[in-house]
Amino acid sequence: MPRQFFVGGNFKMNGSKASIKDIITNLNNAKLDPNVEVVISPPTLYLSYARELLRPGLEVAAQNVFDKPNGAFTGEISVDQLKDTGITWVILGHSERRVLLQEDDAFVASKTKTALAGGLGVILCCGESLEQREAGETIKVVMSQLGAVAAKVNDWSKIVIAYEPIWAIGTGKVATTEQAQEVHAAIRDWLKNHVSSTAADNTRILYGGSVTEKNSGELAKQPDIDGFLVGGASLKPAFVDIINAQTA
């Protein structure tokens, strides 16, 4: 069976009740490719609001979750709390949290294990800095990030991998289709060798990093690109065009 195309919209720390309502109204009324799985990720404060507004068939992801159950962890959010409010996915390992908040590979892996054990789907981010790419370390860095998760997780059936080169996030720079496909193919080969052939065949690998309606069509044609994790463009009406990239 072909892998179902997947498009996630990461709002990051953007939005208000009014703007999120506008985004969701546009999605609810749009003609979306029925073969694409769509997940949006507003800030934590608006997760329940988004879930209440969003039509059935479209899902909501948190931008973070803690690796401990409910307890004395000020400012954090638990898997149980997310599930209690109808949230089915979580984004983990995003470079902004790795870099700005110093989340290391082991912590990301621990959170991934906890989220999966609690029944959430995980959009697992990985990617290299410009310095690492220029040093020829892209594959080494990405595989190290994924390897930390593989050390704690055996079942990858509810993991979607998002390859996001840090140098392309929010910069307007985009990896060429050849660059993106090369890393995606390497990730799939790594899955085959370090997890299982089943994981390699079934795990969806998304591209993220300044994805727009203008470049999504060409990227979507690549054999190992199974969708996108979209940042700024998910706040705009053109997000619909990205969702429909395969049929545009």
Catalytic residues: 94, 164
Alpha carbon distance 131, 237 (integer Å):
34
**Helix axes 177-194 and 138-150, enclosed angle (nearest 10):** 40
Alpha carbon distance 246, 248 (integer Å):
6
CB-based burial, 142-160: b 16+ in 10 Å, e otherwise: bbebbebbbeebeebebbb
Alpha carbon distance 243, 19 (integer Å):
19
Tokens representing 233 are: 């463009």
Identify residue 44 by its one-letter amino acid code.
T
